[in-house]
Structure 1
Amino acid sequence: MKTCCTLLFFIACLFNTTYAQHKLTKLWETDSVLKVPESVLPDTENKVLYVSNIDGTDPWGADGKGAVGKVGLDGKIIAVDWITGLNAPKGLGLHNGKLYVADLSNIVVIDVNKGAVETIIKVDGAEGLNDISVGDDGVIWVSDSKNKKIFRVENDKASVYLDNLKGPNGVFMHDKTLYIVDNGGAYKVNDDKTLTLLADGMEGGTDGIENIDGDNFLVSAWAGSVWYVSPGSKELLLDTKAEKKNTADIGYDAQNKIVYVPTFWRNSIVAYRVD
């Protein structure tokens, strides 16, 4: 019996070592002056965070109240309303000095240096554009959570890339491969448009997905959790559901290993070091 207990203890320790390898350490939290922040994106070159502010009680309201704000890498608010007049803006993507913002049925393109809207790309058939990722080739990938689709946008022309999904949100183009989160699961999208499951069971509205390294990802669920996901496994790093503190569309600084978490109704951004 003693030998058996010792063996079980060893197995338990091994399990914990294998499945509890990572943690989040809180670095700072902004003042609660943002306006329902849904997405955050680090721009390390310009040493700033871009934040989409829905601003309002309707997360899908076409009311012109939305904005993009700017926050310093130290958590100090630079501007809550840097770019205004948007409609419940959500996902953010950055490529060659242009910031791409999901804005219901449009993608708003902002010239970062000028601090002004350059153009608006209409995505025909879209109703609830949510997350955005821009590949190295400039192709834009954007989810439509209301119509359960993923759009591919090239040269300002949008086409449906995936449909018949259950609840798509986060998209991330990494190393010429698209990754998405859909209805509690994280998936790799294969060249033939089939999906390979990385991990599921992440309830509460899977929201953002960011690459850590290799095949390792961070996934947020809106209700209040952040997960470390590898093929075939997941590890809970953060659980703020009891605090009723949301974890919306995360942004990740791979160089400094910092994840930025928008708290939605709590109107702040929280920075954590990923260890």
Structure 2
Amino acid sequence: MKHQSKLMLLGLSTTLLFAQCNPQKSNEGSTEVVLVEEAKTPTLTKIWETDAELITNESVLYDESTGKIYVSNIEGEPSGKDGKGSISIIDKEGTIVNKEWVSGLDAPKGMGLANGNLYVTDIDQLVEINLESGKISKKYPIEGAGFLNDVAAFESKVYFTDMNTGKIHLLEGGKTSTVAEGHTSINGIAVDSDGSVYGLDGEGFKMIHLDGTAMLINKNVTGGDGLIILGDGNYLASRWAGEIYFIDNEGETLLLDTKAEESNTADIGFIPSENIVLVPTFFKNKVVAYKLDY
């Protein structure tokens, strides 16, 4: 009797196992196996760094049309009108191609590309540099500017921030205007493909509407410097002191912390086709590249 019971139990177990592995259709519908993929933790992996010859480099900008990487170097004081500032060009392997492509600037910081020009903030003016000649073609002084910082270009529009006054300015059609204000210590700025403006200020990471309102997206990453829009609700934000964060609708993840090394993470750049983050290290005088996996 025991032997027969064991056979009956074994048969029942085999039937249940077969049913679990081979879902059958029934009159009430079909059974489907749904595989849920675990969320991947984003990471940064160092891949190269330049020689330490880019003195007080503050911002990095990748030009997708040419493969060139522009680097702004303050060299002197961040607010000093001393003519020591410059723009360098490096390649995607970290080689310094032209250390002083443009010289004679004061304290260049954020950069953007539009209208065949490179635009760079320089304390209290926006400087226009012709990409083909490397010559300064025009300067746009901003009345009352205290500390012009980051730049974001969208089509023919060039947005740029003033960290001291909390304003966002716009260059369009050869004229400058103020399009937003009241954003304390605003620095990093980026524009999405639909023209939406995002910024990093003392309150955190926010979408900035040009009607005077704003929507706070993340209140933890305050005082941010560089801002990258990855798409699908994902973003990168750097803090100058040495932190880079991945931000999504779940919150923020600290990807990089170089504070102990006294290596800064200023206005970061990005190579979209290769998911490479370009980090200007400020006082370490080099750009470091990291592969982003997310």
How high is the TM-score relative to the length of structure 1?
A: 0.89
Residue number among 53, 61, 73 corresponding to 1:53 in the alignment: 73
| Structure 1 residues 157 and 22: alpha-carbon distance in aligned structure 2, compared to 1, 3 A threshold | same
Deviation, structure 1 residue 50: 0.2
Farther-moved stretch of structure 1 (190-199 vs 46-55): 190-199
The 5-angstrom pairing of residues 26-45 of structure 1 reads 26-45=46-65
Structure 2, unpaired ranges of 5+: 1-36
Contact 1:34-1:53 at 8 Å conserved across structures:
yes
| Structure 1 residues 191 and 122: alpha-carbon distance in aligned structure 2, compared to 1, 3 A threshold | closer
Structure 1, unpaired ranges of 5+: 1-16
Partner of 2:200: 181
2:115 pairs with 1:92: no
Query: Aligned pairs, how many?
Result: 256
Contact 2:75-2:107 at 8 Å conserved across structures:
yes
Contact 1:184-1:206 at 8 Å conserved across structures:
no
| Cα distance per residue 1:108-141 (max 9 Å; x no partner) | 11111112112112222212110001112x1111
The 5-angstrom pairing of residues 157-196 of structure 1 reads 157-174=175-192, 175-183=194-202, 185-190=204-209, 192-196=211-215
Three-state SS of the structure 2 residue aligned to 1:207 is coil
The 5-angstrom pairing of residues 235-274 of structure 1 reads 235-274=253-292
Q: Cα RMSD over matched residues?
A: 1.6
Query: Matched residues, percent identical?
Result: 39
2:156 pairs with 1:102: no
Deviation, structure 1 residue 19: 7.5
| Structure 1 residues 241 and 264: alpha-carbon distance in aligned structure 2, compared to 1, 3 A threshold | same
Alpha-carbon distance between aligned partners in 2 of 1:97 and 1:255, rounded to the nearest angstrom: 22
| Structure 1 residues 75 and 149: alpha-carbon distance in aligned structure 2, compared to 1, 3 A threshold | same
Where is the strand percentage greater, Structure 1 or Structure 2?
1
| Structure 1 residues 18 and 62: alpha-carbon distance in aligned structure 2, compared to 1, 3 A threshold | farther
Contact 1:198-1:232 at 8 Å conserved across structures:
no
Partner of 2:243: 225
Three-state SS of the structure 2 residue aligned to 1:63 is coil
How high is the TM-score relative to the length of structure 2?
A: 0.83
Farther-moved stretch of structure 1 (230-239 vs 215-224): 230-239
2:135 pairs with 1:116: yes
Q: Quick one: which amino acid aligns to residue 137 of structure 2? A: E
Q: Quick one: which amino acid aligns to residue 159 of structure 2? A: W
Deviation, structure 1 residue 272: 0.8
The 5-angstrom pairing of residues 70-85 of structure 1 reads 70-85=89-104
Bigger Rg over Cα? 2
Partner of 1:63: 82
